Structures are given as C-alpha cells and as structure tokens.
Copies of this chain bind each other. A is one copy, B any other.
C-alpha cells in the first residue's frame, strides 16, 4: 500500500507553489490515509531562471512541457498555467499520452470542456477539476458523486470573492464602487487587471462548469446572461437594503418548465433572511436544491493559494484511486438530461428597477402604463427623498416576467422625456 505516484506540474504560480508546499507539509498524512505517495517529478515553467520557492529543487524545473508527457514515471499532470490556448494544447497532448489530468483552469473548461472530455472519454483518461470552481469548496465532488441520485432543482452560487468583497464593503460602509474596488486591490483581493472578476466572466466560467455537470450537457457561453458589478451604485445597495435585500453577484442555475435550464450570472437582490445574504467578504458559497436531498449549502474560501491547493490534493487522491481501478467511474455529460438552455429573453425573474426621473405629476402613471402594456406587474414602489427635483429616484420592484419583455420595456422607458440617465435593472431572486 505504499505506491509512489509521479506528478508533472505545468505552471508554478500561486496555486502551483501552494500544491508543492502543502504536498511537502502533508505528504506523510496523505500517504497514510491513502496508501499512496505523491512525488512531483517535474515542473514546467515559462522562465526556468526565475527565483522560486527555495525548497523546490532547481533540477525539477524545465521549460519543455513534453518532458512531462514523455516521462513514463509521471502518471498525473497538474495544469495550472493560466490562459487558454497553450493549456488546451498541453491538456490534449497529456490525455493522448494517457496521463490523468488535473486542472484548475475554469476558462479552459468553460470554453473547451466538450472537446476535452470527449477526448478523455476516447482515451479512458480521467480529468479532474475541483480547483476550477469555488476554490476549497468541494462542490464538484458533491454534485458529481454525493448527489448523484438527485435532479437539481436549482443551484445558486456566490462564486467570485473579489466581487463579493467589493459588494460587502459597499453594503457595510455605504461607499461607492470605485473606492471599494481600490480597497480590494490594496488588500490583494483584486488583481492588477480585475476585468474578468468584475465583469462577471470569472464567475460565469465556474457557473458553466457547474451547470454542465448538473444537467449533463455543455452549456454554451453565448446562451447565458452575464452582467458585472461595475454599474451597481451605492444608491442601489441602499435602496435594496430598505426593501429587505442584499445585492450579490449571484450565479443562478435552475431547471425551468420544458426541460430547459436557466443560467445567469448578474448582480441580484437576495432576501436578507436567506443564508446566501450572509456570505460576506471573500468567501464563496453554493446553495443547492435537489429533489431528494432538499436544501443544502456549502461555504468556504473561494480562492487563494491554500484553499485551492486543498482541492488539487483532493483531486490527486481521486487520481490515485483511478490509477488503482480499471476504469473511471463517474461520467460527466453522458446523461444529457436537459439538452438546452432557456434562451435568455425567455428566462423568468422578478426585477428591481431604478429610474432617475423629473419630479412632476403623471410620471409614475406613464411608467406604470408602459410596464402594464408589457404585462409586467408592479409589486411595490419607493420614491426615496432626494434634493434635486430634476432627478429624483424611483425604485420599482416588479413581478415575474420574461427577461426579453423586461429589457424592451426598459428601452422604452429610457427614451421617455421624464426619465434621466440610464435605468438600473437588476434581477431579484426569491428562492421560491
């Protein structure tokens, strides 16, 4: 029971260094628990001369990824390179060479998962990716294995720590978006270029992976609605609070009538009493509702060297099991349960609509008339006090309506002479 399993690692950034460090620290423990010892035999990097963790022997490093693939003593490769095209080529070659693949690359899987898993199936090589979604939270294992007996009614996730930190700070302090982003940068919670975080696409990549796994078909990125947090204002957060909600960048995946799946990632109002509303700072959480298990929630750190390393170590254990067994057990998209995403315009939601209007008689009647003509019902209206009579805020909570009809109505409203600035439209999730 003391097999040695050879690892080749491609990429030695934050997560790669963490895997190296934690495997050194906890390697004995893992060997005792698992009956297998992992040995990092080679590390491929772009610049072999760069200063590294002094504990990592210089002779491990190479700039030639083929050395990992051609080494018969390497059974598992860990892809932590970043980017898409280079890792895609590497992963495909690794699968063809019969290496078990572990990756934390969410963009790679969201955009090329279908191709990668098709190839993996042909070569009977498992590909593990726990580190790609929600950092240290083992949500892939939960969806794939623990809840294998469930139809998923809904999956809601807070999947980007940077956005959640920014929105949490805006909520706690009343500060605007820009200073909150600056603070996140100062603390290292936002990267120098935080575009993919704040425009929602980092969370969207994770959402695509989760939805694809849960529903058994590859969700096309172009079929989901993605909106970032850049346009969320301190006023929206304040108004939402008055109405009993928190604003979170929320991933929503749910089965809709007609065996289609609604998938969106956008700033969303969540009732303050819901447990996801209490997930603050850089933490991530996934709330999952299955037809058998009922409501569940999984919470933890969604990023960072150590939490993400923990997921890679878990995947290494999976790899060790796969090496001992004749074939890999859990399928991925083989069940193909629901074959389609609901087109964005047909997805149904409640909405929060903030308009900046001239304070004059008849404005509300005009707005209500336009919404009524589109069969969009008004749940409540608040008109917070403002000093400027040329631009007072009008906040409407709206009934369930198709997103397409909602967007069209907002376009009409935006053109009214009494409406100033661009209207702010946000989804509202009532978890019903």
Interface-centre pick from A145, A146, A307, A327 (highest chain B CB count, 10 A): A146
Residue pair B30, A149 in contact (C-beta under 8 Å): yes
List residues of A (265-299) whose CB comes within 8 Å of B's CBs.
275, 278, 290-299
Binds B, one of A54-62, A104-112, A333-341, A396-404: A333-341
A118 to B138, CA, bound (A): 29
Contacts of A275 in B (CB 8 A): 278, 299
Residue pair A297, B294 in contact (C-beta under 8 Å): no
Contacts of A220 in B (CB 8 A): none
Residue pair B294, A136 in contact (C-beta under 8 Å): yes
Contacts of A330 in B (CB 8 A): 33-34, 317, 321
| A158 → chain B closest CB, angstroms | 13
| A330 → chain B closest CB, angstroms | 7
Interface-centre pick from A23, A294, A336 (highest chain B CB count, 10 A): A294
Residue pair B291, A296 in contact (C-beta under 8 Å): no
Cβ of A310 < 8 Å from any Cβ of B? yes
Residue pair B136, A336 in contact (C-beta under 8 Å): no
Cβ of A185 < 8 Å from any Cβ of B? no
List residues of A (294-349) whose CB comes within 8 Å of B's CBs.
294-301, 304, 306-307, 309-311, 313-314, 316-318, 320-321, 324-327, 329-331, 334-337
A294 to B301, CA, bound (A): 7
Contacts of A331 in B (CB 8 A): 32-35
Within 8 Å by CB of A293, from B141, B307, B317, B336, lies B307
Residue pair A294, B300 in contact (C-beta under 8 Å): yes
Residue pair A292, B321 in contact (C-beta under 8 Å): no
Within 8 Å by CB of A325, from B147, B325, B336, lies B325
Contacts of A299 in B (CB 8 A): 275, 296-299
A205 to B297, CA, bound (A): 23
List residues of A (28-82) whose CB comes within 8 Å of B's CBs.
29-30, 32-35
Within 8 Å by CB of A306, from B138, B293, B311, lies B293
A142 to B145, CA, bound (A): 11
Within 8 Å by CB of A32, from B216, B292, B297, lies B216
| A266 → chain B closest CB, angstroms | 24
Chain A 108-140 per-residue mask, 1 if CB under 8 angstroms from chain B, else 0: 000000000000000000000010000011100
Within 8 Å by CB of A334, from B32, B326, B329, lies B32
A324 to B290, CA, bound (A): 27
| A400 → chain B closest CB, angstroms | 27
| A274 → chain B closest CB, angstroms | 11
Residue pair B325, A26 in contact (C-beta under 8 Å): no
Interface residues of chain A, those whose CB is within 8 Å of chain B, are 1, 22-23, 25-26, 29-30, 32-35, 130, 136-138, 141-142, 145-151, 216, 275, 278, 290-301, 304, 306-307, 309-311, 313-314, 316-318, 320-321, 324-327, 329-331, 334-337
